[in-house]
Structures are given as C-alpha cells and as structure tokens.
Chain A
Amino acid sequence: MIKLLKLEFSKFRKSTVVILLSTMFIVFLPFSLSVGKLFKDLPPMLPSEEVFVRFSTIWEYLGYAGNWMVFFFIGVLIIYTITLEVSYKTLRQSIIIGMTRNQYFLSKLYLILTISVIVTLYYTVIALIIGFINTPDADMAMAFSNEWAIPRFFLMSIGYLSFAMMIAYLVRNSGLAVFLYLSIVLLIEPLARLGHVKFLGAKFQNYYPMNCTEDLMPLPLLKIADYVKSSDFDLVVLLSYKTAAIATIIWSAIFIGISYYNFTKRDL
C-alpha cells in the first residue's frame, strides 16, 4: 500500500491542477465559517452567529461546508488524477511496464482512502482549533460531543470520491467527466428525485446515492425543516445518520465494483 501511495505521490506532486485544487480546499474550508459572520440578520432559529464557530454546532456547520468542498475540489481532483493518466497515456504505460491492473486500480483506491483520511483529519483539526478558540469553558468532552461527525465526514468523502472515480473510469475524458459529475450531483439526481416524488411517491426518494452522501453532513437548518415536515406530512427531508451511513457504504461499494469491473475488463 505504501509503495503504491508513494507512486501516486510521485506522479502528482508537481501537477498544477492537483496543487491548485488541494490549496483551494485547504484555504476555503476554515474560511467558510466566516461566511456565517457576514449574515447580519440570522434566521430566527439561530440564536447567534456564534453557532458557526462554537462547540458543538461547529462540527455541523464546518461539516456542511466540507460537504460542498469535498464534493467539488476533492471530487474533481480524483477525476483529474484518473483521466489525466488516460490522456497522457501513462495509465497504459504503467500496465505495459509492469503494474497489474489490480495494482493500478488499488493505487487509485488507496489514494481515495488516504485523501478521505487526510481531509477528515483536516476537518477535525480545524473544528477543534476554531472551536476551542471560540467556545468559553470548552473541554474535551464538549469538543467531541458531535454525533459521530468525524466518521460521518470520512464516509461522506468516500461516497463522493468513489462516485467521482467511477465517473472518471467510465468517461475517461477530463472535461466530460467533470461536467457529468457536477451535473449528476447538482442537477440530474435532484431532478430525478423530484420526478420520483411526483410519479412514484415520496417513499425511497431519499435513497438516491448522492443524496445519501449529502445527508451525512446536511445543512443544519434542514434538521429543523425535517422535524416540521416529518411531523406534519409523511415526507422525510433527511435520512437518519445511521441510515445515510449504511446507504453510503452500499452505494460506495457499488461504485467501486463498477469501476473495478470496467477497468479490468476493457481495453486500455
């Protein structure tokens, strides 16, 4: 595993796109919390802007910002690391000079796992630093009272990145793969869910893959909406964390399986 990860690092450590996307994630994630400070008139359910930077709510707000940033910056980065090797033909070359297809596939899978660990660690460190600075009388128990936010963030990353990997392996063209990835998450799946509700009813409409992943780190305000909706109507806005986690694991396994099958069976 270490050998394959070192190889991936050697390939991409000087790639401008990879450096740019990583830097944007690193810079924008902590700064995303300051967006909350820009709102002068907060919605009535928010007691103060301090919720963005204090325990335990910081885990939710930073997690939600991370949700967007992992989806965009890191998802595109994963697509790029796969499709770039197709366009430079270094994928073919890696196989020609001695990697087995399994090894090559594993190198990308390890990359996804490692990046997910790194972004989760970064999320944890940022939440702890900002939380401890801004929360009066904070202690470790208060700091980690976060409804499993750390494993949820990790699973969310795996969900997005395995989906990005599948799109990259299927499409193999950088521009098209990024376009398709963004379109599915932002447009196609939400439209499909709307259609689902209209024609098939509300049941199961939450189980679409990217929705399950999003529900691991949802917009905190949606929890209130979910409470109201669920009480008044038979419509669930958010999946429970446990359900979202199980669904994300299943979807990720499917994405990885499809990627593996596609990569090992087709001509390169």
Chain B
Amino acid sequence: MEVLRIKNLSKNYGSIKALNNLSLVVNSGEIMGILGPNGSGKTTTLGIILGILKANSGQFTWFNNKYENHRLRIGSILETPNFFPYLNADENLDIVRQIKGVSDKNYDDVLELVKLKGRRKSQFRTFSLGMKQRLAIAATLIGDPDVVIFDEPTNGLDPEGIAEVRRTLQNVASRGKTVIMASHILDEVEKICSHVTIIKRGKLMASGNVGSILSTDLTLELGSTDLMQLKGFLAAQQGITNINMIGAIIECNAKEDINVADLNRAAFAQNISLTHLVARKTRLEEEFLKITGKPSKN
C-alpha cells in the first residue's frame, strides 16, 4: 500500500530553491532513509509533508487520501524534541495524547521502550539531550501510528546517546511501522533503512531499496610496490572505473561480475606483484559521495 506520494514539490526561500520538483513514493512497511548533505532540502521536505511549511508548487498525498486527518496516523520528530520544559515526561506525553485523541492514558509501554520509565516524573528541562530525544521517540509512538518520521534523530548526541537512540529506532522499526528517516549519517541509514532516497540541492538524485543502490559495483583496494604500473594496468582492464590513488593503495570500482582471482593472475602475468587486494561491496557512503559529488544538472 502506498503511504506517501510526493509529486513535483518545489519550495523557495527567497531566491534560494530549497526543493526543485521533488517526487517520491514511500510504501507501507518500508524504512526509508532520506539522505543528503546539509541544506539539501531534507528537513524542508519533511516540513512540507507534515504541514508546517507551505510548498510553492507540487503536491503530496498521505495514505491515498484515505483518512480525514492523516497526521493523527503519523508520529514525528522534526529537528529537535519540542516539549514544554516545565512539564514532566508524563505531562508532555499527555498533551500529545490529547492532540492525537487517544483515550488510553497509560504510557508505560512507550516509556519502557525508550527506557525512561524511571524518569517519567522529572521535568523535561532536567533531561539530557539523549533523554530528550528518547522522549520524543516515545511521543511519536503514542496512538500507535502507521508511520513514524525522524529528522536527524542522533543529531548532537554523544556516542552513548547515538547508540541508545539507534537501538530504540531499531526497536521501532521491528514493530513493523513504516519509517521515514532523514539523516546525513550514512552509517546510520545503511544499518537501519531498507530503502534510501538521495537528494541534493532539493533535487532527487537516486531512490530505491538500499540493495539496488549499492549492488551495481564492487570497490577494490589494491597495493603494489609500483603503484604507477598498477594504475596503468587497471586502466587497461575492462569493467574497472574510478581509479584513485589513496596513499599507498589504489581504490577503484569494478563490475560485480569481475573475478578477483583472475585479476590477480593477470597482474602477476605483467610482473605486478599485488601486496594488498580487498574486494568489498560498495558502501553507501561511497555511493552517496559519488552521487552527490556530481554537479546537479540544473
């Protein structure tokens, strides 16, 4: 089932084009990561689909317009956790419950999930950044929403906080929710998401499941006593691209059907002795840099 369809969305801030005809579809059960460098339009996209920003053109539909107030079926954190600092965790969650029109006043379940049950009577202002973020995650789950949206959920957290939030997100995802997560932390997206959308300067650069985005190439790392000779050898091979010397090794992309043992043998036949040879699937980071590194067509 289609959860979200974005069609030709554009948004300008004065002369700056924050979104440029962005189109995107998110289906039920997907864990969609929206990736992009800072200022690429991730938060603007989320702001528009959550109703706090107005698009200049384009449209979006939630749940095929099936529900009168679709936002009651969405849990979301946008940028920072936003609560009343003088209220405690329970009281802040109660405000969310009232807005969502949920009758159940028991927050044990969600507070347990984010490990805040022991601090439920503490004022929000006394929480650490990680605890604030976890309370925000708890708030997104009130009313058992179909979709949860997180915008940079680990922003500003220390490594322990990041690990805590990441564990919580994985718990949320394992409950079968559709998750949309904007981040510039590629490792985070790669570990959590099933699908990924890459945007740059408000334009869609790539979208699909993580496998389809990553599966086209292998990344090879090679070392030799004569790097220049090795570089020339690689340049002459079919299916090898993007040859870069990085310190004492050469990194390049290779088609996934390349036989690494054959490559080693061919090098040896040309008196090139490889001191280092590693073949691995292309990481999202490399793919991301490759995609966003190219200048946008417009």
The reply to whether the CB of B268 lies closer than 8 angstroms to some CB of chain A is no
The reply to whether the CB of A27 lies closer than 8 angstroms to some CB of chain B is no
B contact residues around A11 at 8 Å (CB): 84, 95
The reply to whether the CB of B271 lies closer than 8 angstroms to some CB of chain A is no
Quick check: B78 and A92 within 8 Å, CB to CB? yes
Complex CA distance for A15 and B78, rounded to whole angstroms:
24
Cβ distance A84 to chain B, nearest Cβ, rounded Å:
8
B contact residues around A90 at 8 Å (CB): 82-84, 95
The winner among A6, A90, A97 for most chain B CB atoms within 10 A is A97
Cβ distance A22 to chain B, nearest Cβ, rounded Å:
15
Query: Which of B67-75, B126-134, B182-190, B244-252 is the interface stretch?
Result: B67-75
Number of interface residues of B (CB under 8 A): 30
The reply to whether the CB of A242 lies closer than 8 angstroms to some CB of chain B is no
The reply to whether the CB of B54 lies closer than 8 angstroms to some CB of chain A is yes
Quick check: A3 and B98 within 8 Å, CB to CB? yes
Quick check: B84 and A97 within 8 Å, CB to CB? no
Quick check: A97 and B71 within 8 Å, CB to CB? yes
A contact residues around B82 at 8 Å (CB): 88-90, 92-93
Known: A10-B91, A88-B84, A97-B139. A268 touches B98 (CB 8 A): no
Quick check: A92 and B95 within 8 Å, CB to CB? no
Complex CA distance for A51 and B74, rounded to whole angstroms:
61
A-B contact count (CB 8 A): 73
Quick check: A98 and B99 within 8 Å, CB to CB? yes
Query: Which of B32-40, B45-53, B222-230 is the interface stretch?
Result: B45-53
Q: Which residue of A lies closest to B140 (CB)?
A: A97
> Which of the residues B52, B75, B91, B99 comes within 8 Å of A92, measured between beta carbons?
B52
The reply to whether the CB of A129 lies closer than 8 angstroms to some CB of chain B is no
A contact residues around B91 at 8 Å (CB): 10, 14
Quick check: A267 and B84 within 8 Å, CB to CB? no
Cβ distance A44 to chain B, nearest Cβ, rounded Å:
52
The reply to whether the CB of A94 lies closer than 8 angstroms to some CB of chain B is yes
Complex CA distance for A98 and B62, rounded to whole angstroms:
13
A contact residues around B94 at 8 Å (CB): 10
Cβ distance B45 to chain A, nearest Cβ, rounded Å:
14
Quick check: B76 and A96 within 8 Å, CB to CB? yes
Quick check: B52 and A268 within 8 Å, CB to CB? yes
Quick check: B86 and A94 within 8 Å, CB to CB? no
Quick check: B86 and A6 within 8 Å, CB to CB? no
Known: A88-B82, A88-B83. A100 touches B96 (CB 8 A): no
The reply to whether the CB of A7 lies closer than 8 angstroms to some CB of chain B is yes
Cβ distance B76 to chain A, nearest Cβ, rounded Å:
5
Cβ distance B101 to chain A, nearest Cβ, rounded Å:
8
The reply to whether the CB of A250 lies closer than 8 angstroms to some CB of chain B is no
Quick check: A16 and B69 within 8 Å, CB to CB? no
Cβ distance B68 to chain A, nearest Cβ, rounded Å:
10
Cβ distance A19 to chain B, nearest Cβ, rounded Å:
10
Residue interface bits B79-103, CB-to-A below 8 A is 1, else 0: 1101111110001001110111100
Complex CA distance for A100 and B85, rounded to whole angstroms:
23
Residue interface bits B174-208, CB-to-A below 8 A is 1, else 0: 00000000000000000000000000000000000
Quick check: B86 and A14 within 8 Å, CB to CB? yes
B contact residues around A266 at 8 Å (CB): 54
The winner among B47, B78, B99, B139 for most chain A CB atoms within 10 A is B99
Complex CA distance for A183 and B50, rounded to whole angstroms:
37
Quick check: B96 and A97 within 8 Å, CB to CB? yes
A235-268 at interface with B (beta carbon < 8 Å): 265-268
Residue interface bits A57-90, CB-to-B below 8 A is 1, else 0: 0000000000000000000000000000000111
Cβ distance A234 to chain B, nearest Cβ, rounded Å:
51
Quick check: A96 and B50 within 8 Å, CB to CB? yes
B contact residues around A100 at 8 Å (CB): 69
Complex CA distance for A265 and B55, rounded to whole angstroms:
11
The reply to whether the CB of A99 lies closer than 8 angstroms to some CB of chain B is yes
The reply to whether the CB of A95 lies closer than 8 angstroms to some CB of chain B is yes
> Which of the residues B51, B75, B80, B96 comes within 8 Å of A89, measured between beta carbons?
B80
Complex CA distance for A88 and B124, rounded to whole angstroms:
12
Quick check: B98 and A95 within 8 Å, CB to CB? no
Quick check: A96 and B78 within 8 Å, CB to CB? yes
Complex CA distance for A152 and B135, rounded to whole angstroms:
46
Known: A88-B83, A97-B76. A7 touches B69 (CB 8 A): no
Complex CA distance for A94 and B92, rounded to whole angstroms:
12
Quick check: B98 and A6 within 8 Å, CB to CB? yes
B contact residues around A98 at 8 Å (CB): 69, 71-72, 74, 99-101
Q: Which residue of B lies closest to A267 (CB)?
A: B53
A contact residues around B75 at 8 Å (CB): 97
Quick check: B98 and A16 within 8 Å, CB to CB? no
Known: A7-B95, A98-B99. 17 other contacts (CB 8 A): A7-B98, A10-B94, A14-B86, A14-B87, A88-B82, A89-B79, A89-B80, A89-B82, A90-B95, A94-B99, A95-B50, A96-B51, A97-B74, A97-B139, A98-B72, A99-B99, A267-B52
5 contacts between A and B (CB under 8 A): A88-B82, A88-B83, A89-B82, A92-B52, A93-B82
